[in-house]
Chains A and B, each alone.
Chain A
Amino acid sequence: MRVSLICGLALFLLTEVVSGGDLLPADRAIEDVVDREIDAQLLKEKIKPAAQADDATIVRRLTLDLVGRIPTQAETREYVDSTDPAKRVKLVERLLNSPGFARHQADSFDAMIMAGGGRESMRDYLAQALREGRPWDRQFREIMAGDESKPETKGSSGFLKSRIKDLDRMTSDVSSVFFGVNVSCAKCHDHPLVHDWKQDHYYGMKSFLSRTIEFGAFVGETDYGTVKFKTVSGAERQAKFMFLTGKVVEVSGGAEPTREQRQELKRRSDEAKKKKTPPPAPSVSARAKLADVALQEGERDYFARSIANRLFARFFGRGLVMPLDQMHSENPSSHPELLAWLARDTISHNYDLKRLIRGLVMSHAYSRSSRWESSTSAPLARMFAVGAVRPLTPQQLATSMWVATTDPNSLPADPGLDPKDSKLEPLADRARGLASAIARPGEEYAIGVSEALLMSNSDRLQDVLAESGDRLVGRLVKIKDRGEQVDLAVRNVLGRAPDAEERKLLADYLAKFEGRGAEGCRRLVWALLSDSEFRFNY
Chain B
Amino acid sequence: MADKTESIKLVKELSRKEMTFAIAPVEAGRKMLLGSADFHVYEVDFGAEKPEPRSLGQHESYVTGLAVTNGVAISSSYDGTLIWWNLATSQKIRTVNAHGKWVRKVVASPDGKTIASVGDDMIGRIWDAETGKKRHELVGHAVTTPTHYPSMLFTCAFSPDSKHLATADKLGQIRVWDVASGKTVATLEAPIMYTWDPVQRRHSIGGIRALAFSPDGTKLAAGGIGKIGNIDHLEGMARVEVFDWKTGKHAIELSNDSNKGIIERLIFHPSGTKLLALGGANDGFVQVIDLNAKNVPLSEKLTTRPYDATYDPASKLLTVSGHNKVADYALTW
Q: Do chains A and B touch in the complex (CB under 8 A)?
A: no
